[in-house]
Structures are given as structure tokens and as C-alpha cells.
């Protein structure tokens, strides 16, 4: 915690926190965490210029850990003082922007949801279900939240957590919002009767978050199960 030259805006200090975790609680399935599953940087939304949180697991790359603790304090001896948290931890801010850009490029690319994101999903996601598509609406409907198709699913297996989520007449949005940019929801391409999918618990019952639904291939299921076994003591 460092004092700023001015008491306003509140809180009048710069806050930097670096902490280790076993995993990342990610209720909204953000693509940045998929992109960098062992190291993350965020700003507190209320005071983005004044507070940075860096979090990492034991598997974080050493070069990124250096960025998390490489404090730049030269501004303390300047006439203006330290005004923003990015002055104090600049490399971590570069990491944050790089992770965000790579995640956005992936979500705009041809392979939004590669199998490589599944070990981190096994670690962090509360519920993982293996489903089969039963039926899908023939037309695209519209709502204030964007266009969607209705789909119903059959539960095949619970890979993790519980099966309390509704599976009939679920909205599958055709687009999702990534950092203010609308991109295609690749789950739409999976809506074929008989198709197996992996469904991950998100913030709502709709399928409207990044990679909330992925193809339930044998390789994908095996990767999830291997990730789950690796979590056991």
C-alpha cells in the first residue's frame, strides 16, 4: 500500500496484492483464465488506476512470477509521486494486456475452444456434464439479449459436481460478448441431434458464455477425467 499525492479519488492510496491459489474461481468462464490458467492480473473495477491484484498457482511460469513482484518504486522520489498502480507494477500490466489480447484473438479465430483449456476447466469449474443433444429449434429467435436457438439435452454422465441444471428448452445464444466485442458462440455449431457435448457450469442457465459448451469427443472426455484425477491427493 502506497500513499498517492492526492487523497482523491478515494481511497487515496495505491494497492498491490500478489497471492498464490490452488485454482481460480471463475463463475463466468472468462477466456482470459482459459488463456492463462496459472497466472492472472486484474484491476479492481471501482478504482482500476489504483488497485492491482496478481494471483498465481504453483505452476505459474517463473518469468511471470518475477513480474508479479518486480515493484518499481522510483516514482516515490519524484515530485509527482506515484499516481497509478501501473507505475508501480508495469510488467504485470503488460502481462494482463497480453493475456487479454491472446484470448480475444482465440475467440475470434477458427478454434475458440481447444482441448488444451480442459485441464484448467476440470480444476476450476464447479459442474461438468456430458450431454447429448435431443432436439433443436429450426429457427433463430430474437430477444433483448440477442438471437438464440432453443435446444434440449439428455444427461449421459456427471463428470464433476451435480446435475441440477435445467436441460430442456435452453437458450443457446448465437453470439457472446468478449471485452465489449460480439463474437460467434461456437456452441451453436454443436446443436445437432445426437451430438455429445461437454457443458460447464456458468453464471446462468443459458449457454451464453465462452466455451460453456464444447464437443464431447472421447479425447475431450479423457482429458477432463485425467485433469480430475490429477486433483486428487
pLDDT digits (tens, 9 = 90+) for 143-197: 877 899 999 999 999 999 999 889 999 999 999 988 788 899 999 999 999 999 9
pLDDT the model gives residue 82: 87
Residue 65 CA, distance from chain mean position: 20
pLDDT the model gives residue 79: 75
Where in the chain are the domains? 2-107, 115-231
Phi/psi at 134 (5° precision): -90, -60
Band (pLDDT 50/70/90 cuts) for residue 8 is low
Phi/psi at 207 (5° precision): -100, 90
Peptide bond into 11 cis (omega under 30): yes
Burial class, 25, CB count within 10 angstroms (exposed 0-12 / middle 13-18 / buried 19+):
exposed
Q: What percent of the chain has pLDDT over 70?
A: 97
- 209 pLDDT more than 70: yes
Contacts of residue 8, Cβ cutoff 8 Å, sequence gap at least 6:
none
Give the torsion sign (CA, 222, 123, 194, 174): negative
* 43-60 per-position pLDDT tens digit: 998 889 999 999 999 999
Report yes or no: 64 and 46 within 8 Å, Cβ to Cβ.
no
Cell matching residue 102 = 491472446
Distances (CA, A) of 2 to 12, 56, 171, 197: 9, 23, 47, 49
- 23 pLDDT more than 90: no
- State which fold the 115-231 domain adopts: OB fold (Dihydrolipoamide Acetyltransferase, E2P) (2.40.50)
- 198 pLDDT more than 90: yes
CA nearest neighbour of 153 among 94, 209, 216, 196:
196
User: What's the pTM?
Assistant: 0.90
Amino acid at each position: 500500500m502506497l500513499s498517492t499525492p492526492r487523497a482523491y479519488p478515494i481511497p487515496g492510496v495505491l494497492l498491490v496484492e500478489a497471492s498464490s491459489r490452488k485454482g481460480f474461481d471463475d463463475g463466468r468462464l472468462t477466456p482470459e483464465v482459459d488463456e492463462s490458467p496459472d497466472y492472472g492480473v486484474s484491476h479492481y473495477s471501482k478504482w482500476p488506476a489504483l488497485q492491482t491484484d496478481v494471483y498465481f498457482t504453483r505452476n505459474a511460469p517463473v518469468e511471470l512470477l518475477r513480474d508479479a513482484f518486480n515493484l518499481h518504486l522510483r516514482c516515490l522520489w519524484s515530485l509527482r509521486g506515484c499516481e497509478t498502480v501501473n507505475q508501480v507494477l508495469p510488467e504485470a500490466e503488460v502481462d494482463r494486456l497480453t493475456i487479454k489480447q491472446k484470448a480475444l484473438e482465440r475467440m475470434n479465430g477458427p478454434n475458440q475452444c481447444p482441448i488444451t483449456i480442459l485441464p484448467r476447466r476440470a480444476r476450476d469449474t464447479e459442474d461438468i456434464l456430458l450431454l447429448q443433444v435431443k432436439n433443436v429449434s429450426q429457427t433463430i429467435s430474437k430477444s433483448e439479449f440477442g438471437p438464440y436457438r432453443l435446444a434440449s439435452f439428455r444427461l449421459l454422465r456427471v463428470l464433476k459436481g451435480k446435475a441440477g441444471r435445467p436441460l430442456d428448452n435452453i437458450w443457446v445464444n448465437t453470439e457472446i460478448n468478449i471485452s465489449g466485442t460480439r463474437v460467434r458462440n461456437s456452441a451453436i455449431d454443436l446443436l445437432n441431434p445426437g451430438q455429445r457435448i461437454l457443458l460447464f457450469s456458468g453464471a446462468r442457465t443459458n449457454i451464453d458464455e465462452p466455451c460453456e459448451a464444447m464437443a464431447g469427443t472421447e479425447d475431450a472426455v479423457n482429458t477432463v477425467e485425467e485433469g480430475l484425477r490429477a486433483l486428487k491427493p
